[in-house]
Structure 1
Amino acid sequence: MESKHLMQLAIILDCGSISQASGKLHISQPTLTKNMQTLEMQAGGPLFTRSRHGVRQTPLGGVLAREGRAIAKSVWSAEQSATRFGLGMQTELRIGVGPLVASLLMHTITETLLRDHPNLSLLIRVDTPYRLFEQINDDELDIAVAPTVISASQELDKVLLFEDHLAIFASCHHPLSQQKRIEVSDLSHYPWINIATYAKFEESPVERLQKAGLKQVHTHIALAGDAMICLNILPTGEYLSIMPKRVTDIAAPRFGLQSLAVEADFGERNMYLWHPPSLAGDIMLDSVARAFIDTLETAMAK
């Protein structure tokens, strides 16, 4: 079997028709049909069925298409590596971070790492923790800075960077901002902005709020992959948001925010440096960990 035929099969099934796949692959439809006939002969059975609604995979076709997608992903990864090498990124560290850390800390951490390691090139990817862990397992990232996540982190090692906990943030002009004691029930009348609503944490932000006793959470805005939207919108109204306290405190003065004195425990949000076991003892792990810790301590001292 030729790898290109497996990739072509995956494209056909993803597109739903040979004609659409031929346009995407920039090869003629007769050539693509011939390649599939060859693959079927080698595989020993039909790969898909045709109807007026398009093509539908057979069990055999589904299995081979998965292999084709894996090959395509490997080819894409190789092309990206070659591109980065061509740009001079020869000694590379691939770091994944969440949106809040990316917005508030990563620029300083990047400067620190490049100062301490002049020959280092950084690839920084911002995504939800669950997806970052998947990318480490797929060898698309070397390390990730994130909280604990269900199942996806089971095969990775972790180093504690700093302890943190969740708190409720609002504008300094919010009706609750001047109260020294706030009950959970006092939060029920206000709109919420939820960050990472769709990320697979051990418990979602809404679940944390409900566990603390807030029965109704009126979510007006849900965000995935961006934190600056939340930081910019919170001061514009009576919005509330549950966010990690130590990290968000860094941005609070700049955005006119403050944590509310709510009489409730919303749980930990400790931050870890995750890496595959094969990187244990690597000198860059210590460098990245120290850069994060120093950056956070400096920011908190200001």
Structure 2
Amino acid sequence: MKTPRLLDGRLKLRHLVLLDALLRQGSVVGAAAQLHVTQPVATRGLHELEEILGVTLFDRGPRGITPTVYGAAFAEHARAVLAQLTEAGRHIVELADAERGTVIVGTHLAGSNVLLPRAITRIKRDRPYLTVIVREAAPEPLLVELVAGRVDMIVGRLTAASDEQIERRKLYDEFVDLIVRSSHPLAGRTRIDPAELGEYPWILPGAETVLRRELEEFFARNGIPLPANRVETTSFLTVRELLLENDVIAALPSLIARDEPELSRLDVSLEQIGHSVGLTLPARTLSPSAEALIDSLASVAAEMAGEEHR
């Protein structure tokens, strides 16, 4: 197979945009709707792209389309190109008006309650017209958004090493505690029998998270069945309201309950559950605004580490 000639003028940006839409929607109809074009136009664009590359990018089925090995491989490069162009446009805007700009931050539970709000507060003092957009989601969807250039950085738990596409930068270590409301029957007690924990409803993170797997291992070690009465969420606002209104138990980063007088930490050791909190960054040049927020996050994290040792 000859190497495709991608710079001879046939490959257009619209082909890359279409490929991204097809991957996100899983159907030609869905991609056409997302791009506000007709289905024949989207189908023709896909055929053009497959002809340029000389391979089949998607397998067609009754329930939609799925990427072939060629489609998945080319999509990585296509999304990187789109991400770089998006970043280039924002960079130009920021150079034209250094006081303005936009940073899009993805976050999940760890880091979202203290680190990120403090860092945003700090940077807004110096750059009040900087727009910070925070998107909360599970780790895997956020990684897809990061690689595609729709998110500048992710603040949260680090669960893997850096690679060619992703840089992971540790900011501090954080422990996990079992948290309840202050009026919970177990609050303030010492020497709690782990078996008692199974008698109450729980708030658990989603099944796709590392913390969920660690909690399931904790249950197994202590002979506790997976709670049948449970809510699964990683939204801190939802978790907090459920904790305050019910006798539920939640496993949360230790910093969350430290400054919450209405919440209490249970006297149950979770020594084997802890993690590093930090930044997950794309392997591309970031805008000046994104770099400024990174500096603010690092500064706040250093102060938080100092607080933990006092």
User: 1:156 — aligned with what?
Assistant: 167
Note the C-alpha offset of 1:245: 1.4
Pair 1:108 & 2:118 matched: yes
User: 1:186 — aligned with what?
Assistant: 196
Aligned with 1:247 (options 237, 240, 256): 256
Note the C-alpha offset of 1:285: 4.8
Note the C-alpha offset of 1:190: 1.1
Task: Give distance in 1, aligned partners of 2:54 and 2:129.
Answer: 52
* Partner AA of 2:208 in structure 1: Y
The answer to whether the 8 A contact 2:167-2:283 is kept is: yes
TM score, norm. by length of structure 2: 0.67
TM score, norm. by length of structure 1: 0.69
C-alpha change, 1:247 and 1:277, in structure 2 (3 Å) is farther
Task: Give distance in 1, aligned partners of 2:221 and 2:126.
Answer: 43
Q: Which deviations, in whole Å up to 9, do the C-alpha atoms of 1:238-269 show, x marking residues without a partner?
A: 21111111333223x1xx21011125534223
Pair 1:289 & 2:310 matched: no
User: 1:233 — aligned with what?
Assistant: 242
The answer to whether the 8 A contact 2:155-2:278 is kept is: yes
Pairwise mapping of residues 258-269 of structure 1 onto structure 2 (< 5 A)? 258-263=264-269, 265-269=271-275
The answer to whether the 8 A contact 2:16-2:82 is kept is: no
C-alpha change, 1:236 and 1:65, in structure 2 (3 Å) is same
C-alpha change, 1:176 and 1:153, in structure 2 (3 Å) is farther
User: 2:277 — aligned with what?
Assistant: 271
Q: Which deviations, in whole Å up to 9, do the C-alpha atoms of 1:24-82 show, x marking residues without a partner?
A: 5444566666656655655557777889x587679598469837963895498369838
Which deviates more from structure 2 when the two are superposed, residues 108-117 or residues 33-42? 33-42
Task: Give distance in 2, aligned partners of 1:58 and 1:114.
Answer: 42
The answer to whether the 8 A contact 1:193-1:222 is kept is: yes
Structure 1 segments unaligned to the other structure (5+ residues): none
Q: Give the secondary-structure state (helix, strand or coil) at the position aligned to 1:146.
A: strand
Note the C-alpha offset of 1:150: 3.5
C-alpha change, 1:208 and 1:39, in structure 2 (3 Å) is closer
The answer to whether the 8 A contact 2:16-2:79 is kept is: no
Identity %: 18
Task: Give distance in 2, aligned partners of 1:152 and 1:124.
Answer: 23
Q: Alpha carbon RMSD of aligned pairs, Å?
A: 4.7
User: 1:215 — aligned with what?
Assistant: 224
The answer to whether the 8 A contact 1:103-1:228 is kept is: no
Pairwise mapping of residues 49-64 of structure 1 onto structure 2 (< 5 A)? 53=62, 62=71
Q: Give the secondary-structure state (helix, strand or coil) at the position aligned to 2:257.
A: helix
Note the C-alpha offset of 1:175: 1.5
Note the C-alpha offset of 1:228: 1.0
Note the C-alpha offset of 1:109: 2.5
User: 2:288 — aligned with what?
Assistant: none
Task: Give distance in 1, aligned partners of 2:207 and 2:124.
Answer: 33
* Partner AA of 2:265 in structure 1: S
Note the C-alpha offset of 1:114: 2.6
Note the C-alpha offset of 1:223: 0.4
Task: Give distance in 1, aligned partners of 2:163 and 2:140.
Answer: 8
Q: Which has the larger radius of gyration?
A: 1
Which deviates more from structure 2 when the two are superposed, residues 172-181 or residues 151-160? 151-160
The answer to whether the 8 A contact 2:80-2:147 is kept is: no
The answer to whether the 8 A contact 1:7-1:72 is kept is: no
